Amino acid sequence: MRKHIIRFIAMFAILIVLAFYPLNYYISKPGGAYELQPLVTIEEVHPQPKGLFHLMTISIAKATPLTYVYAQLSKEMDVLPVTSVKQEEEDDEEYSIRQKRLMYNSQNKAKIVAFNRAKRHYEVKYNGIYVIGVVKGSAAEGIIRPGDTIVQVNDYPLTEKQTFHPYIEKMLKGDQLTLVIERDGQQFEKEVTLADLPNRPGKVGLGIRYEDNEIVETSPNVVFESSSIGGPSAGLMFTLEIMNHLQDDDLTKGYSVAGTGEILEDGSVGRIGGIDFKVIAAHKQKIDIFFAPDDVVSKEMKAQYPDIRSNYEVAVETAERLKTPMQIVPVRTIDDALHYLEELPPKAS
């Protein structure tokens, strides 16, 4: 009897390890299709659209021995090395903050492109620098956190683009800075003494990874509700959703429209990862139309990555494998998507 109990406990322990022990890999798989209408609010009333725009996601989670083996056998899961997901020395908190920041930036660019195309007013302002990561062993460790916004250094307010680095690089080791920091809606001061940067002999600094904190103010105001989603790939669809609020004509024409692609300020649509899984998720949601970045694969990219293909090529191949009736539409710019929708006949009811 005792042997049976020991054997049961041992088997149970093995199952726990197989199911929950984290490996140095990630598993990606199809995520979901999110209706954009509840996620984007604009202070201007327009007729209710007959169709819907959707943003697509993929799901990424730490691999365990069990999910690692399962992913190797599945066409709807990929195993990713940690280096293809996280940046060097990036912890889980910094990864999450970086992904949310990429989403914030994509929303800003979507506002700029949409308001430019609609010839509506917007203004770009700068409010300090946004901290994405803190270098271990640096002067900033324990004082500054990822997600902080530094709005002032000593008596110098950071209200213009790319002003932080020129100010700091004049400083010497041992110089003390008074930083005005915004965190969780609160503003306060912190003292930091500049020190050598870890792994960079002779270089002095705070030891933070950051970017300018850009704020795009629009009229009418645009509010996003997408705090649980990260990454830059919703930019194209955010732009279309905003534009649908800014005009009287319904861009959807009654269709269920999804897509993916980073939006750049000039309106071009950039390549993203995991498009095959996004096509799978869209197919499961019975989406009618899917916009895919028709990115150019250069000779240099092909030489470095022989198997690389454009997002559009992968999307078409995936759609053919699924035998989906969903239309895969190539786009290189926001204007490609707009032109396709303008030429589209209204969906039969």
Residues labelled catalytic: 233, 278
Q: Which residues contact 335 (CB under 8 A, 6 or more apart)?
A: 267
**How many residues in total does the chain contain?**
349
- Residues 46, 247 contacting (CB under 8 angstroms): yes
Task: Give the other-Cβ count within 10 Å of 176's Cβ.
Answer: 10
Beta strands in the chain (DSSP E): 25-35, 40-42, 52-62, 78-81, 121-134, 149-153, 156-157, 176-183, 186-193, 195-197, 200-205, 208-219, 222-224, 256-259, 262-263, 269-270, 289-293, 327-331
Q: How far is CA 270 from CA 47, 50, 99, 103, 262, in A?
A: 31, 28, 17, 14, 5
Q: How far apart are CA 313 and CA 253, in angstroms?
A: 26
Asked if the peptide bond before residue 220 counts as cis, ω within 30 degrees of 0, the response is: yes
State phi, psi for 142 to the nearest 5 degrees: 85, -10
- C-alpha Rg value of the chain to the nearest Å: 24
Determine contact, residues 153/164, Cβ cutoff 8 Å: yes
User: Which amino acid type is present at position 293?
Assistant: P
Those residues with Cβ within 8 angstroms of residue 4's Cβ, 6 or more apart along the chain or in another chain: none
